[in-house]
């Protein structure tokens, strides 16, 4: 996809997101896209890919359960126990299917980032890690105090991702919710890669 095609795709996805999402969810998506683009520039990843992944990551957030299940049936992966209990968690996988089928996005890095932004995955590349982090700590998220956000932002990419995963797991455990195996695998993998502070 050349630069003009990328710009056009971003514009179309942005317009779709604006139409189907609530105002607050759309504004969240824009903030995630901007932060993803900034982090991509910092870590040597294509900035347009970061913006596209960010603006697209929640395009299926408002979909009804039946549509989510219909879309994810096309990605060839099984629906796990956590997703079965709460089908809204399938919105990332559904968004990846929609991006590919309706918007002609075939960049596997973008699709994987969008597909796995909810739980993470031990196989995520830099873009996937960036989207995962940006989604959780974008400036509109009120559950991160400025000091915690600053500590995350000042870290390298592995450290950033590890801190966000730690916070995510801690939050889910406090709420008595099950933690995805993908999240735990990603955290375990990063545990060996994060530089000692």
For the chain, which residues make up each domain, given as ranges? 3-191
Question: What superfamily does domain 3-191 belong to in CATH?
Answer: Hypothetical protein af1432 (1.10.3210.10)
Q: What is the pLDDT of residue 144?
A: 78
pTM value is 0.93
- The pLDDT of residue 4: 82
DSSP string, the chain: --HHHHHHHHHHHHHHHHHHS-HHHHHHHHHHHHHHHHHHHHHTS-HHHHHHHHHHTTTTTT--HHHHHHHHTTTT----HHHHH-GGGGHHHHHHHHHHHHH----HHHHHHHHTTTT--TT--HHHHHHHHHHHH-TT-TTS-HHHHHHHHTS-HHHHHHHHHHHHHHHHHHTTPPPPHHHHHHHHHHHTTSPP-
Contact between residue 95 and residue 53 where contact means Cβ atoms under 8 Å apart: no
Pairwise CA distance, residues 134 & 181, whole Å: 21
Q: Supply the pLDDT for residue 196.
A: 43
Mean pLDDT, the chain cut into blocks of 10 residues (197 residues total): 85 97 97 98 97 98 95 93 94 97 96 97 97 96 85 95 92 91 91 47
């Amino acid at each position: 996809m050349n630069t003009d095609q990328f710009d056009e795709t971003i514009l179309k996805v942005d317009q779709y997101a604006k139409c189907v999402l609530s105002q607050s969810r759309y504004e969240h998506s824009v903030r995630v896209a901007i932060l993803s683009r900034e982090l991509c520039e910092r870590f040597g990843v294509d900035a347009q890919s970061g913006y596209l992944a960010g603006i697209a990551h929640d395009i299926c957030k408002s979909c009804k359960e039946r549509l989510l299940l219909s879309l994810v049936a096309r990605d060839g992966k099984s629906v796990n126990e956590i997703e079965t209990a709460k089908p809204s968690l399938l919105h990332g996988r559904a968004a990846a299917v929609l991006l590919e089928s309706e918007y002609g996005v075939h960049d596997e890095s973008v699709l994987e980032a969008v597909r796995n932004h909810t739980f993470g995955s031990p196989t995520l590349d830099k873009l996937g890690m960036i989207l995962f982090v940006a989604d959780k700590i974008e400036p509109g998220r009120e559950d991160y105090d400025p000091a915690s956000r600053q500590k995350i932002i000042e870290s390298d990419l592995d450290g950033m991702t590890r801190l966000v995963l730690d916070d995510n797991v801690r939050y889910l455990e406090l709420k008595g919710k099950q933690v995805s195996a993908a999240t735990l695998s990603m955290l375990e993998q990063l545990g060996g890669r994060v530089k000692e502070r």
